[in-house]
C-alpha cells in the first residue's frame, strides 16, 4: 500500500462475530481468562493481552500505525514523547555508557539527557551534528548511541541523516532520530539506516492537541527491549489516549499537506519583512514539503511581548502541531531548561517566536501576522 492508504488502514482486524467498523476502546486495566490454564497461555505467547500496563489493543495499534508509516518492524507507544525517548535510550544504553547528542535539540530532551540520565549512570556529550569532526572527537570507548532530530527545534536545521548513520556505523554506534517535526509524511529516517525513530505523538501524529503520547520505532529486537522498559517503568499509554492517537493519525497526510503548504506561504511572505530580523524555514527538506513550523526572530524595533498580544485569534501555547495556528516562545518554554550560553551559541534569542502553522486559510494566517507586526 502507498503512504496515504497505509495512513488509514493500520489498525489490526477483529475476529469477533460482530465486527465494529472502527476499533473499540479497550478501556480496561486488565483482561480476564476462563481458567488458570487460559491465563498461563499469555505467558506461553498464545494470547496477546494480560494487563494494560503491559499491553493493550489501542496502544499497540498506535505503535503499529507509526511503525508502518516509518517503515519499521515494530513500534511501541508510551505516555509521552520523552518517555518514548527514554525507552529507546534504555534499550541500548546502561549504567556506564555514553551517548552523543546534537546540541540543537528540544529543551525537554536536553533536560532528560543533561540531568536525568545521570541518575541512570549514563553520560551525554552535546555536539554540533553538522560537523563530522565534532561527532568523531566525542566518541569514547563506552559510546553506544548517536542521537539527533530530523528537523531541529526551533531553528529548523535539516539533518543529514545518511551522513549521521555512516558516522555511527563507522564507530559501531546505534542511531536514534526524533522525527516529530517532519513526521513520516516528509522524512522516514529508517530509510537512511537509522536504528530507532521517536515521536512526540502529542504533536502531528495525534494532531488535535488532545493527547499526550509518544512512539518509538525500530527492529523487533530493540523494540521488545523498549516495550519492556515502558511496562516496567510504568510509562505506558492509556487505552483512550491510544484510541485518540489512532483516530488522529488517520488524517496525518491530509493535515500535513495543508499545514506544510500554509507554512511555506507564510514563510515566503514574512521573509524580507522590515520588522523581522530573520525567518527560519527549511528548504528542500523533503519531496512532500518543508514542514509546518516557521520560526521568526523579530527586529530590535519590535517588542516580543507586545507582538504576542496583537495576534488576535492565534493561540499562545507551550507546544505545537494542532490544527489551529499557534505560537510559542522558545526561551520561555521549550528551551527554558537550556543554559543561556548554549542558547546564545545556537542562536536561540529572546526575540524569537516559533509559529506552528495550522489548517486555516493561508491568507487569514498571513493577515493576522502582518497585522500584528504593523
- From the list 47, 53, 132, 265, the catalytic residue is 53
Q: Which three cell numbers stand for residue 300?
A: 530590535
pLDDT at 357 over 60: yes
Overall average pLDDT of the 301-305 stretch: 92
- Of the candidates 64, 203, 343, 354, the residue annotated as catalytic is 203
**Sequence-separated (6 or more) residues with CB below 8 Å from residue 220:** 73, 74
Task: Give the domains, in start order, of the chain with CATH numbers.
Answer: 12-249 (3.40.640.10), 253-373 (3.90.1150.10)
Residue 232 pLDDT > 80: yes
Q: Which residue has the higher pLDDT, 321 or 19?
A: 321
362 vs 325: CA distance, rounded Å: 10
Comparing CA positions, the residue from 112, 102, 116, 104 lying closest to residue 343 is 104
**Selected catalytic residue, list 178, 195, 241, 297:** 178
- What was the pLDDT predicted at 18? 61
Cα gap 163→113, rounded to integer Å: 23
The label of the residue with cell 518509538 reads: 216
**Residue 270's pLDDT band (cuts 50, 70, 90):** very high
CA distance 316 to 327: 5
- In tens, the pLDDT along 62-92 reads 999 999 999 999 999 999 999 999 999 999 9
pLDDT band at 15 (very low <50, low <70, confident <90, very high): low
Among residues 60, 64, 106, 204, the one annotated as catalytic is 106
Res 364: pLDDT: 96
Active site residue 51: no
* Average pLDDT of the residues in 353-357: 97
**Cell of residue 46, nine digits:** 498464545
Cα 312 to Cα 102, 106, 153, 178, 261, distances in angstroms: 36, 27, 25, 32, 22
pLDDT the model gives residue 50: 94
Q: How confident is the model at residue 5, as a pLDDT?
A: 87
Residue 17: pLDDT band with limits 50, 70, 90 = low
Q: Taking all residues of the chain, what is their mean pLDDT, rounded to a whole number?
A: 95
- pLDDT at 1 (0 to 100): 83
In the chain, what percentage of residues exceed pLDDT 70? Answer: 98
| 106-156 pLDDT per residue, tens | 999 999 999 999 999 999 999 999 999 999 999 999 999 999 999 999 999
| Model pLDDT, residue 11 | 78
Q: Give the model's pLDDT for residue 196.
A: 98
Beta bridge pairs of residue 217: 75, 197
312 is catalytic: no
Helix or strand or coil: residue 42?
A: helix
State mean pLDDT over 219-229: 98
Cα(192)–Cα(25) distance, integer angstroms: 35
- 147 catalytic? Reply is no
Respond yes or no: is residue 106 known to be catalytic: yes
What pLDDT is recorded for position 77? 98
Amino acid at each position: 500500500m502507498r503512504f496515504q492508504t497505509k495512513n488509514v488502514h493500520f489498525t489490526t482486524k477483529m475476529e469477533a462475530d460482530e465486527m465494529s467498523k472502527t476499533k473499540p476502546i479497550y478501556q480496561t486495566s486488565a483482561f480476564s481468562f476462563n481458567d488458570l490454564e487460559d491465563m498461563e497461555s499469555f505467558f506461553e505467547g498464545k494470547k496477546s493481552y494480560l494487563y494494560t500496563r503491559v499491553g493493550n489493543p489501542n496502544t499497540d495499534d498506535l505503535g503499529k500505525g507509526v511503525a508502518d508509516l516509518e517503515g519499521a518492524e515494530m513500534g511501541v507507544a508510551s505516555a509521552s514523547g520523552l518517555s518514548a525517548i527514554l525507552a529507546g535510550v534504555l534499550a541500548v544504553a546502561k549504567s556506564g555508557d555514553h551517548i552523543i547528542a546534537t546540541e540543537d535539540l528540544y529543551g525537554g530532551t536536553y533536560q532528560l539527557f543533561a540531568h536525568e540520565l545521570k541518575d541512570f549512570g549514563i553520560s551525554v556529550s552535546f555536539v554540533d551534528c553538522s560537523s563530522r569532526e565534532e561527532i568523531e572527537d566525542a566518541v569514547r570507548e563506552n559510546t553506544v548511541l548517536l542521537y539527533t532530530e530530523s528537523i531541529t527545534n526551533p531553528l529548523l536545521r535539516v539533518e543529514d541523516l545518511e551522513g549521521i548513520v555512516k558516522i555511527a556505523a563507522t564507530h559501531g554506534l546505534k542511531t536514534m532520530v526524533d522525527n516529530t517535526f517532519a513526521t513520516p509524511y516528509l522524512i522516514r529516517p529508517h530509510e537512511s539506516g537509522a536504528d530507532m525513530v521517536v515521536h512526540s505523538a502529542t504533536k502531528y501524529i495525534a494532531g488535535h492537541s488532545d493527547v499526550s503520547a509518544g512512539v518509538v520505532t525500530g527492529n523487533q529486537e530493540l523494540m521488545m527491549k523498549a516495550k519492556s522498559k515502558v511496562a516496567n517503568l510504568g510509562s505506558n499509554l492509556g487505552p483512550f489516549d491510544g484510541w485518540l492517537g489512532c483516530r488522529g493519525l488517520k488524517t496525518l497526510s491530509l493535515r500535513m499537506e495543508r499545514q506544510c503548504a500554509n507554512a511555506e506561504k507564510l514563510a515566503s511572505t514574512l521573509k524580507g519583512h522590515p520588522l523581522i530580523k530573520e525567518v527560519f524555514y527549511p528548504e528542500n527538506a523533503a519531496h512532500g514539503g518543508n514542514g509546518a513550523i516557521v520560526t521568526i526572530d523579530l527586529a530590535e524595533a519590535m517588542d516580543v511581548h507586545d507582538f504576542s498580544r496583537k495576534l488576535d485569534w492565534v493561540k499562545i501555547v507551550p507546544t505545537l502541531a494542532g490544527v489551529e495556528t499557534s505560537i510559542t516562545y522558545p526561551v520561555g518554554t521549550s528551551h527554558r531548561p537550556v543554559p543561556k550560553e548554549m542558547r546564545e551559541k545556537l542562536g536561540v534569542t529572546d526575540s524569537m517566536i516559533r509559529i506552528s502553522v495550522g489548517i486555516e486559510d493561508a491568507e487569514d494566517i498571513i493577515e493576522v501576522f502582518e497585522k500584528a507586526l504593523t
